Amino acid sequence: MAADIQVFDKETVAKIKKEMIPETEIYEISDFFKVFGDSTRLKILWILDGKKLSVGDICNILDATKSAVSHQLNTLKMNKLVKYERIGKNIFYSLDDEHVSMIIEIAKRHLEEK
């Protein structure tokens, strides 16, 4: 810490520094939230809340190309936000777990408070 920075509560500062989330986890959490930073991916997550839909269904809702939607679904899948199930020749996507919709709902509520 720079010598010219005044600390008013040394005990609290020391305690927080000791309990701080490890740097590797900070980067992982930051990367996790970057996935939510893309509006198309966020729309897909919202669309899939409580639903199981095919790529074609999602394309139709978003009025987007299969290539664009598949690319975003792949990113969401790699980040464990969506899962898929093959039924016959078709693949259906859904949210990986309830935490995904909870994160979106909490963000919505936070923005509505303003």
Q: In whole angstroms, what is the distance from residue 106 CA to residue 53 CA?
A: 24
- Partners of 86 in the β-ladder: 91
CB atoms within 10 A of CB 58: 21
For residue 55, the model assigns a pLDDT of 96
**What is the domain extent for residue 62?**
38-112
Q: Which residue has the tokens 């074609």?
A: 56
For residue 2, the model assigns a pLDDT of 62
Where residue 87 sits, what CATH number does that domain have? 1.10.10.10
What would the pLDDT profile of 7-52 be if each residue is shown by its tens digit?
Answer: 889 899 899 999 999 999 999 999 999 999 999 999 999 999 999 9
What would the pLDDT profile of 63-95 be if each residue is shown by its tens digit?
Answer: 999 999 999 999 999 999 999 999 999 999 999
The reply to whether 29 falls in a domain is: no
Total number of domains in the chain = 1
Q: Please, which pLDDT band fits residue 1 given cuts at 50, 70 and 90?
A: low
Q: Which residues make Cβ contacts (< 8 Å) with residue 5, sequence separation at least 6? A: none
CB atoms within 10 A of CB 72: 22
The reply to whether 55 falls in a domain is: yes
